[in-house]
Amino acid sequence: MRPRPLPPAPTLRTARLLLRPWQPGDAAALFRLLDADRARLTRDFPKTTQAVQDEADARVFIEIREADWQIGKGIQFGIFRPGEAAPLGLVSLRNIEWEVPKAELSYLLGRAAEGQGLMHEAAGAVIDWAFRALGLERVYCCAALDNARSAALAERCGLRREGLLRHNFRGGDGLLHDSYCFGLTRDEWRAGSTESA
């Protein structure tokens, strides 16, 4: 069941990062993040890249993400280095189903921030918060078959490859793509947290 009331949207801190929900003043920086890498991101993030075509779109996008949390549908965090205004990427819990409860993990990192373990750090913090604060029983994600980096990240975060979903999403290229599904249950997360403590 959905918690009533929902906890306030938090700011999460890791060793190197600050994760927080978007604020109205982030619109220009969010647009720059997506626009700088648009050609690479469009296939796997067609809805996000289509929704944010300019700074005005980014402001609306931020308002929608805020509303998503207010109605318990999802939450999106911008990923920042402390003290910096330019986001490195974003990580989301979306499609929350409170009846289970479960949520889909989604993540996007700008090319300049890749290869430093930053998304592992960010996604791990969001997963921990999802289980601790929201009481989720399952976190899952999908990765296109040819997106080896995304699949490897899911597994590094403790999610297990559960199966192949054929024609699972229509990419920004207009084609249907297969994807692997990964999942992590509360019991598995708890066992992993105990082992790493």
pLDDT at residue number 195: 61
Low-confidence ranges of the chain (pLDDT < 70): 1, 194-197
Read off the pLDDT of residues 167-187 as tens digits, 9 standing for 90 and up: 999 999 999 999 999 999 999
Instruction: Spell out the domains of the chain, with CATH numbers in brackets.
Output: 12-196 (3.40.630.30)
Dihedral sign (CA 123, 125, 129, 132): positive
CA-wise closest residue to 89 among 147, 150, 131? 150
pLDDT at residue number 5: 78
Confirm if 147 and 39 have CB atoms less than 8 A apart.
Answer: no
Spatial strand order in the sheet of 89-97: 12-13, 18-21, 75-80, 89-97, 102-109, 138-144, 176-185, 160-170
pLDDT at residue number 193: 75
Confirm if 77 and 91 have CB atoms less than 8 A apart.
Answer: yes
| 102: DSSP letter | E
pLDDT at residue number 11: 97
With both helix axes pointing from N to C terminus, report the angle between 55-70 and 27-36 in degrees, rounded to the nearest 10.
110
CA-wise closest residue to 186 among 142, 126, 132? 132
pLDDT at residue number 194: 60
- Predicted structure pTM score: 0.94
The first and second tokens of residue 69, run together, are 């949390």
pLDDT at residue number 8: 84
Residue 111: CB atoms within 10 A of its CB come to: 11
Confirm if 93 and 65 have CB atoms less than 8 A apart.
Answer: no
Query: Judging by DSSP bridges, how do beta strands 138-144 and 75-80 pair with one another?
Result: unpaired
The first and second tokens of residue 134, run together, are 């929201």
pLDDT at residue number 107: 97
Query: Judging by DSSP bridges, how do beta strands 176-185 and 138-144 pair with one another?
Result: antiparallel
pLDDT at residue number 1: 66
Q: How far is CA 89 from the centre of its chain?
A: 9
| 1: DSSP letter | -
CA-wise closest residue to 147 among 129, 169, 121, 130? 169
